[in-house]
Amino acid sequence: MSKELKKFLNANHILLDNKFATLYNNQCDNASQVYSLIENAHMHVFFDVTYACDLSCAHCIYSADSNQPLTFIPTKDISFLINQARKEREHVCAFALFGGEPTLAEIHNKGYLKTVADSVRANKNSLRMSTNGNWINGEHANYMIEQLVYAYKTAPRFQLQISVDRFHKDSVQSAIKVIKQLDKYPELESAHSIVVRGFNFDKELEKHFTSLKTQHANIRTYFTFNLIPSGRAASLRSNTRPAPQIANDKERAIILGNDEISGNIAFAAMNPCRMCNQFFVELHFTPDQKAFVFDRLDYTKHITDIKNPDGTYKTYKQIKRDIAKSIFARYQNQIQK
């Protein structure tokens, strides 16, 4: 390793992940190279339906809470974007309804979930929905169960993700109540029909779900035992190919979990997909008509508008091109610093 590179990696004023990112940035000479990688990646399309929520979770990357306005992405926008993905022949692994608490959209706009499920069915895509499950204890419980069962019957593949947090009272009990209510329906026999995602948990609390006996629901658990920022990356020499000296090494790899990818700036916005075994871009649409991807090295956002100045929708290619420019510009600035 050269003296210059060793000095750079040991500098205290630069975060280690940012050092690695800077090394990888040297492999992209312009925004078009970033775009070409993002363009060919698969997508998970998230509709961040609202930032309103009845909870304020420490792990929430949106700072969603009850102080956020009750504004929602219109279903006409969601249906358009689902249809447009098919027309542009985008490789979408799944569409997802997130928040905030997305069930608020259904509670305040009856038929919201039905419209989305129908659009997904017409385009033969998968649909996921994330919720904290608190509504099971309120007046809307029976209605929400009906809407979820409709989604299970309608979407080619529907998956409900229930978030539970050790620091929120009754979150485990609420999640179990949701599961037991849905477990009556044979439509839930599809693979991983319910995912329970736990934050700030220990293994004893996880047992509430791993030991839960169900008739139809197919449950998978995903628990975070300590608060670790999502998308942390480690840079290691590739195990699958020989590599020259690090200073000129275009064959190094970023290791994400058990997966290895060639080092490149665009991969800061990409992740390996468990469903299709391809790398994907997690593209989010927001209530204020923005689109963004998370930078997985430090979880900042690369944002663009979803509409042109004349009010027409941008194509997915336009959106990804704008985001590629943002990614390149940000890291180019780091390199110059």
The pLDDT tens digits for 247-267 are 333 333 443 334 444 445 666
- Of all residues in the chain, the percent with pLDDT exceeding 90 is 51
Question: What separation, in Å, do the N-terminal and C-terminal C-alpha atoms of the chain show?
Answer: 22
The pLDDT mean for the chain works out to 79
Token reading at 100: 């905030």
**30 vs 114, 158, 277, 297, 324, CA distance in Å?**
43, 39, 28, 20, 9
pLDDT at 273 over 80: no
pLDDT given at position 337: 56
The pLDDT tens digits for 151-171 are 999 999 999 999 998 888 889
Token reading at 3: 């003296």
Alpha-carbon dihedral angle through residues 112, 156, 86, 290, given to the nearest 10 degrees: 40
Rg (CA), the chain: 21
Partnered with residue 128 across adjacent β-strands are 96, 159
The pLDDT confidence band at residue 222, using thresholds 50, 70 and 90, is confident
178 by Cβ neighbours in 10 Å (0-12 / 13-18 / 19+) ranks as buried
The pLDDT tens digits for 14-61 are 454 444 444 444 456 788 888 887 888 889 999 999 999 988 877 777
Can you point out the beta strands (E) in the chain?
A: 42-48, 92-98, 126-131, 157-165, 194-199, 219-224, 234-236, 253-256, 259-262, 270-272, 279-285, 290-294, 301-305
Give me the residue spans of the domains in the chain: 43-228+269-315
Pick the CATH number of 43-228+269-315 from 3.20.140, 3.40.630, 3.30.450, 3.20.20: 3.20.20
Buried/exposed code over 125-135 (b: 16+ C-beta within 10 A; e: otherwise): bbbbbbbbbbb
Q: What is the DSSP string of 40-75?
A: TSEEEEEEE--SB-S---TT-TT--BTTS------H
Q: What is the pTM of this model?
A: 0.81
Region class of 231: left (phi > 0), else alpha (psi between -120 and 50), else beta: left
